[in-house]
Each structure stands twice: as C-alpha cells, then as structure tokens.
C-alpha cells in the first residue's frame, strides 16, 4: 500500500488564488471554518432581528405592531434560524478550525465533502427565508412544526425541503468530524489525551448522525400527509398527531445536547487555561459527556407530558430526565474544582466561561423543575419553558460560542482583540440577558402562555422589563460585531503563538495567525505540550 508522499501538487505553495477559488472551491479547513463562522454570525443577527420584533410586540399588552400571523412567523423563524443557522453552524465552524489543529491533522478527513456541507447551508436558508415573502406567508406553527397546525401552512414544502438540506449538511459534517478524529490524529495523540473539545465533538457528531435522519423522517411524513394523502398524523385514518411529537422529540432532545456538548468542550478548554491548572477529572469529564449523550436518547417524552401519555411513560421519562442532572452536575463541579486554588485571571473568554457555568446551571435547574410531571402540567407551554431554554441556549450555547471566539480569535487573525471592548461586551451581555430572561420565569409561573402576540394586563410589568432587556441585549451584540471586525481587519497588537499564558495543546504550537496549511507532516506529540498528556499515568 502506498504510504509515500502523495501530497497534492496543485494546491500547495501556490500562494495567490482567486477569491472564488479560495472561498467557494475550498478544501481548506480553516477557510471553510471561517465561512461557517461568518454564516453563523449573519444568521445570529437575522434571527436576532426577528427576536426584536417579538419583544417589540410584547412590550405592552395589545396588538400594536404586527399581525398575529406575522408574529407567529417570527417566533417560528427565530427558533429555526437560531438553532439551525446560528448555533449549530457556529459549532461546526469552531470544530472545523480547531479540531485539525488540536489533533495535529493537516485538514479534515474529507475536505471536499466539508466544503459541500457548508455550501448547502446558504441555499437551505435562502429557501426557508424566502417563504416570508411568499403570498401564503412563512411557516407559523412553531419550530417544532406540530401537526395538524403545521399542515395548514402553505409554505410547508419549502420548510421541509430546507430541513432536508440542513440535515444532509449536518450529517456530512458529522461524518467528516468523526472520520477526522478517529483517523487523522497525529501519532501519540491517543484518544484519552485528546482535548475535551475534541471529545465533545466526537460524541456530538455521533448524536447528529443518529438523529438528523429521524428529523428528516418526521418532516417527510408531514410532507406526505399534506401533499400526498398519507394518514400518519390523521386519527381518522388510524394515525395519531402525537406520533409526530414522539418522532420529532426523539430527534429534538438529542438535538438540544448537540447544541450544548460542544459548548461543554469549549468551557473545558478555557477554564483550565485561565485557572492555570489542568482540568479536574479529565476522564470523568469525558465519561460524563458520553453518559449525557446516551441518556439523551431516552428522555424525549419530557416534552410531551401534557399530551396525556400513559402514566408509566410519564414516570419513566420523568426519572430518566432527572438522571441527566447527575452527569451534568459532574461537569459543573469539575469546572468549579478546576478553578479552585488556581491562579485565575479574568480575560473576556474566562468571563464568558464563568458566566456560562453559573447561568447554564440556572437553566439546568429550571429544566429539573420542568422534568417533574405534575409541575410540568402547569409550566408546559408557558414562558417558564421559554426562560429555561434561553438560559441553556443563550447563556449556555451562545455564551460558549462567544467565549470560544474571544479565546481563539487571536490564533485565527494573528492580532489581539480589544480587551476593553470585549469586557464591555461581556458585561452588557451578561446583565441584559438576565434582564431579558429572568422575568420570564415569573411570567411563566404566573401562567403566561408562550407563542402569543397579546396577553393579560397582569403580565405587563415583567414583559416590559423583559423587552427592555431584549433590546439592550440585542444592541450589545453590535459591540461583539465591532470587536470581531476590528480584530480581523484593523487591530495592530500582534498575538503570540501561545496566545494565553496558561494555554496548552497543539493549537498553540503553530504560529498566529495559523498559516494556511499546518501539520502537513504529522507533528511529534510530546505529552508535556498537551493539556491532558499524563492522564494515563
């Protein structure tokens, strides 16, 4: 078998390339990662503008600004854009950039497929967003697309096909990540010496391959029920609308972990760096991720307690759900133990990481409250659920992505971002996000339903507070944009190769900015360089 040099000749050491060649035909994990991140940031602002419409309408009771149907389009599109367009592609972008650097690989295992995974996304979202301009309007039945409501939407076919496209993109991306991690590690980079971020992506990729096809199946059944006369969700024909919810949430719950496991990985990189201590309980961290991934397959019906499941099912899913708190707790305690006794400094990435740990834990606690069947009968479909998942997704997933951006931006661009403005961004975000979402807990407990454009005057005060928080949080993200753009194009201060004093791992051994091609020859991995080089001792 040919092990000898089979390097490609056309591509390398040919510095000047056309713009189109470089960005559209790329096989370079860094360029593709950058594309993913730019796409994600764009979607973050598009989805964010939808959220501004929602909060503006909810600023005070009454229908002041938008039509109810448009409001529902906004809640639906906001969620779809944020989940599939902002959070997931951001993690894939980070994985693309960092995984090869962290394991000493020259690129992803299947670079062309990598490019396809990315380029599907802009088209998929063009298809989905175009429905807003169709005569019949966009989807408005919620991102969960429950039948029979979603079947009434004229644009269902567009949404279903765009979800198919995103699914194909995610599956290919995940296959690529698994093949990269399993097949492209530099000699000496044993599985149990890999950075936790790489581990978290390995397991996330497995989840993606396991559940994205199930989502495809669920929406395909919607499509055939609407357009081809099948009866999957029609009781008259022997079907059951609740079947959709089962299939959807079999995808949906692992999906929420797809959006948080890479965040766990990021936090597990950042905390040790700024505490200048190895992570506490490396193996426990890895096993906890695996354990969470396993459990995520057997808890889906906690989203359906209120549909009237058989009692046995209610009880099983309640206890299974509460079990997830155990490995999640292991992670939180280990992060805290990592900081304990460390010599900590508080640069922007660390600030976001600490905020993550605290605020994500709040989201975990409200999750536990929702997991209690009798309590969930009351909380379900109220603003309490909205508060819960925004704590885990905004102060969880999105904060981790911001932390990662500040952490690795100097490595990507070769320049330090502006620490002062980074901190301003952090403090604005962390304050306003709580103004935005904390009152929603109380609204929910008091019984305000989610996904409605108008509400009882009794809820007026907290809604106004929440909306003000929302506008300010939205505005704070412009600072983020400013810091990133400044760092990429205008910053002067050169970044060192090892950007952060306490940082360990292969990615810090390459120059800043990381050259177009790294590790063309497998690096010699020395355990002292790795954050977890000695776990096996």
Partner 1 sequence: MSQQHDIYYVPSKSQWPIVAAVVMFITVFGAAHWLNAEPGESGFGKTVITIGAIGILGMFFGWFRSVIKESLAGNYNHQVDTSFRMGMMWFIFSEVMFFGAFFGALFYIRNFSVPWLGGEGHGVLTHQYLYGAYSAAWGAAGGNGPLQVGGAFSVVQPWGLPLLNTLILLTSSVTVTIAHHALRAGHRGKILLFLGLTVLLGATFLYCQAHEYMEAYKELNLTLHSGVYGSTFFMLTGFHGLHVTLGTIMLAVIWCRVLKGHFNKEHHFGFEAVAWYWHFVDVVWLGLFLFVYIL
Residues at the site binding ligand HEM, with contacts judged by CB under 6 A: 144, 256, 259-260, 302-303, 321, 324-325, 328, 364, 367-368, 370-371, 376, 379-380, 385, 388-389, 392-393, 396-397
**Residue placing its CB nearer to ligand HEM in the complex, 65 or 326:** 326
Three-class secondary structure of residue 71 per DSSP: helix
Torsion angle (degrees, nearest 10) of CA 7, 13, 19, 21: -20
Cα separation of 122 and 118, whole Å? 8
Q: Nearest-CB residue to ligand HEM? A: 367
Least CB distance to Cu ion at residue 302 (A): 5
Residue 90 in tokens: 């951001």
Least CB distance to ligand HEM at residue 88 (A): 11
Least CB distance to ligand HEM at residue 388 (A): 6
Instruction: Report what 389 binds from ligand HEM, Cu ion, partner 1, none; CB cut-off 5-8 Å by kind.
Output: ligand HEM
Q: Is 78 in the site for Cu ion (CB under 5 A)?
A: no
**Residue placing its CB nearer to partner 1 in the complex, 18 or 374:** 18
Which range touches partner 1 (CB under 8 A), out of 104-112, 364-372, 451-459, 500-508? 104-112
Q: What region does 194 belong to: left with phi over 0, alpha with psi -120 to 50, or beta? A: beta
Q: What region does 450 belong to: left with phi over 0, alpha with psi -120 to 50, or beta? A: beta
Residue carrying the six token digits 């977890």: 532
Q: Is 481 in the site for partner 1 (CB under 8 A)?
A: no
- Supply the DSSP string of 186-237, one letter for each residue: PTT--GGGS-HHHHHHHHHHHHHHHHHHHHHHHHHHHHHHHHS---TT-GGG
**Residue placing its CB nearer to ligand HEM in the complex, 373 or 409:** 373
Q: Where are the alpha helices (DSSP H) in 228-347?
A: 241-258, 261-275, 282-295, 311-339
Residues 6+ away with beta carbon under 8 Å from 38:
none
**Residue placing its CB nearer to ligand HEM in the complex, 171 or 260:** 260
Instruction: Report what 105 binds from Cu ion, partner 1, ligand HEM, none; CB cut-off 5-8 Å by kind.
Output: partner 1
**Residue placing its CB nearer to ligand HEM in the complex, 186 or 325:** 325
Quote the distance between the C-alpha of residue 25 and its chain's center. Answer: 26
Cα separation of 367 and 298, whole Å? 16
Least CB distance to partner 1 at residue 114 (A): 8
Least CB distance to ligand HEM at residue 149 (A): 14
Please count the residues of this chain forming the interface with Cu ion, following the rule CB under 5 A: 1
**Residue placing its CB nearer to partner 1 in the complex, 176 or 466:** 176
User: Distances from the Cα of 352 to the Cαs of 195, 263, 357, in angstroms?
Assistant: 20, 11, 9
Residue positions annotated with a catalytic role:
78, 107, 143, 169-170, 253, 255, 257, 268, 302-303, 328, 331, 450
Cα separation of 159 and 345, whole Å? 46
Cα separation of 147 and 242, whole Å? 9
Torsion angle (degrees, nearest 10) of CA 354, 358, 360, 362: -170
Which range touches Cu ion (CB under 5 A), out of 43-51, 114-122, 250-258, 312-320? 250-258
Which range touches partner 1 (CB under 8 A), out of 99-107, 319-327, 476-484, 500-508? 99-107
Least CB distance to partner 1 at residue 46 (A): 19
Cα separation of 233 and 221, whole Å? 8
**Residue placing its CB nearer to partner 1 in the complex, 158 or 438:** 158
Least CB distance to partner 1 at residue 207 (A): 11
**Residue placing its CB nearer to ligand HEM in the complex, 151 or 324:** 324
- Supply the DSSP string of 414-445, one letter for each residue: SB---HHHHHHHHHHHHHHHHHHHHHHHHHHH
Site string for partner 1, 106-145 (x = CB under 8 A): xx-xxxxx-xx--xx--xx-xx------x-x---------
Instruction: Count Cα neighbours of 442 within 13 Å in the Cβ-side half-sphere.
Output: 13
Least CB distance to partner 1 at residue 230 (A): 4
Least CB distance to ligand HEM at residue 255 (A): 8
**Residue placing its CB nearer to partner 1 in the complex, 214 or 357:** 214
Which parts of 204-263 interact with partner 1 (CB under 8 A)? 209-214, 216-218, 220-221, 223-225, 227-232, 234-240, 242-243, 246-247, 250
Which parts of 320-379 interact with Cu ion (CB under 5 A)? none
User: Distances from the Cα of 506 to the Cαs of 101, 167, 184, 195, 414, in angstroms?
Assistant: 6, 32, 14, 10, 16
Cα separation of 491 and 494, whole Å? 8
| Maximal CA-CA distance, the chain | 75
Instruction: Report what 259 binds from Cu ion, partner 1, ligand HEM, none; CB cut-off 5-8 Å by kind.
Output: ligand HEM
Torsion angle (degrees, nearest 10) of CA 145, 151, 157, 160: 20
Which parts of 490-529 interact with partner 1 (CB under 8 A)? 517, 519-522
With CB under 8 A as the contact rule, the residue among 16, 308, 490, 537 that binds partner 1 is: 308
Quote the distance between the C-alpha of residue 271 and its chain's center. Answer: 19
Q: Is 253 in the site for Cu ion (CB under 5 A)?
A: yes
Site residues for Cu ion per CB under 5 A: 253
């Amino acid at each position: 078998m040919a092990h000898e040099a089979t390097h490609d000749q056309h591509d390398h050491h040919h510095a000047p390339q056309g713009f189109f060649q470089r960005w559209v035909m790329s096989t370079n994990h860094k360029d593709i990662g950058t594309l993913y991140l730019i796409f994600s940031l764009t979607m973050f602002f598009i989805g964010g503008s939808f959220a501004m419409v929602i909060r503006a309408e909810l600023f005070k009771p009454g229908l002041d600004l938008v039509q109810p149907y448009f409001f529902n389009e906004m809640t639906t599109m906001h969620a779809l854009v944020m989940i599939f367009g902002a959070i997931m592609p951001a993690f894939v972008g980070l994985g693309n950039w960092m995984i090869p650097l962290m394991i000493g690989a020259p690129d992803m295992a299947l670079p062309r497929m990598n490019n396809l995974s990315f380029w599907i996304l802009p088209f998929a979202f063009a298809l989905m967003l175009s429905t807003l301009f169709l005569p019949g309007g966009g989807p408005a039945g919620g991102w969960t697309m429950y039948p029979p409501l979603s079947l009434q939407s004229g644009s269902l076919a567009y949404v279903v096909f765009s979800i198919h496209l995103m699914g194909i993109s995610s599956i290919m991306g995940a296959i690529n990540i698994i093949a990269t991690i399993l097949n492209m590690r530099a000699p000496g980079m044993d599985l149990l010496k890999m950075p936790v971020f790489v581990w978290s992506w390995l397991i996330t990729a497995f989840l993606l391959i396991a559940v994205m096809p199930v989502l495809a199946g669920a929406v395909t059944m919607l499509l055939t029920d609407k357009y081809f006369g099948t009866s999957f969700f029609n009781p008259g024909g022997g079907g059951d609308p609740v079947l959709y919810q089962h299939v959807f949430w079999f995808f949906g719950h692992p999906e929420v972990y797809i959006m948080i496991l890479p965040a766990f990985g990021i936090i597990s990189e950042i905390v040790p760096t700024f505490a200048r201590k190895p992570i506490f309980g490396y193996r426990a961290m890895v096993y906890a991720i695996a354990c969470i991934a396993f459990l995520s397959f057997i808890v889906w019906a906690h989203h359906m307690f209120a549909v009237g499941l058989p009692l046995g099912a209610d009880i099983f899913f309640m206890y299974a759900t509460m079990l997830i708190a155990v490995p999640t707790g292991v992670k939180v305690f280990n992060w805290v133990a990592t900081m304990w006794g460390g010599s900590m400094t508080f640069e922007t990435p660390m600030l976001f990481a600490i905020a993550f740990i605290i605020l994500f834990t709040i989201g975990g606690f409200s999750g536990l409250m929702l997991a209690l069947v009798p309590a969930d009968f009351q909380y379900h479909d109220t603003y309490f659920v909205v508060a819960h998942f925004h704590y885990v997704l905004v102060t969880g997933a999105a904060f981790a992505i911001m932390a990662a951006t500040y952490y690795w931006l100097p490595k990507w661009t070769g320049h330090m971002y502006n620490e002062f403005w980074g901190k301003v961004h952090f403090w604005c975000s962390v304050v306003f996000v709580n103004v935005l979402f904390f009152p929603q807990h109380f609204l929910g407990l008091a019984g305000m339903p989610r996904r409605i454009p108008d509400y009882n005057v009794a809820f007026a005060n907290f809604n106004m507070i929440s909306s003000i928080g929302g506008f300010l949080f939205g505005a704070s993200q412009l600072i983020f944009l400013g810091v990133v753009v400044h760092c990429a194009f205008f910053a002067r201060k050169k970044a060192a190769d090892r950007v952060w004093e306490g940082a360990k791992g292969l990615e810090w051994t390459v120059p800043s900015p990381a050259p177009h091609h790294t590790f063309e020859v497998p690096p010699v991995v020395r355990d002292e360089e790795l954050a977890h080089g000695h776990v096996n001792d």
